[in-house]
Amino acid sequence: MTCVQSICMGKERIKGDKQMKDVKGTIIRIIAEYLDKEESEIKSSDTFTDIGLDSLDIMELVMQMQEELDCKIELSQEITTIDKLVELIEKQ
């Protein structure tokens, strides 16, 4: 399954613990809304497959995440969980 790798671009860079929590919260909210689930049902350590997403779902979600997080998102096999995605964004 193709998963998400993110490279933030633009004027504002995401920094600090509070903003990382906001990024994680935003990603969880987007996924929960897409799957019509409660945010509490989405664990950031679960794989995207465990959450119930397939590659087509991820492609749709990527577009929404790019808009809301002002990031350019590329697909990769390496990023398989929300935690890994947030960690990658934090390194940018």
Q: Would you name the residues annotated as active-site residues?
A: 54
Of the chain, the end-to-end C-alpha distance in Å amounts to 24
- CA-based R_g, the chain, Å: 12
Residue 47 in tokens: 């794989």
Burial (CB < 10 A; 0-12, 13-18, 19+), residue 16, is exposed
DSSP helix/strand/coil, 76: strand
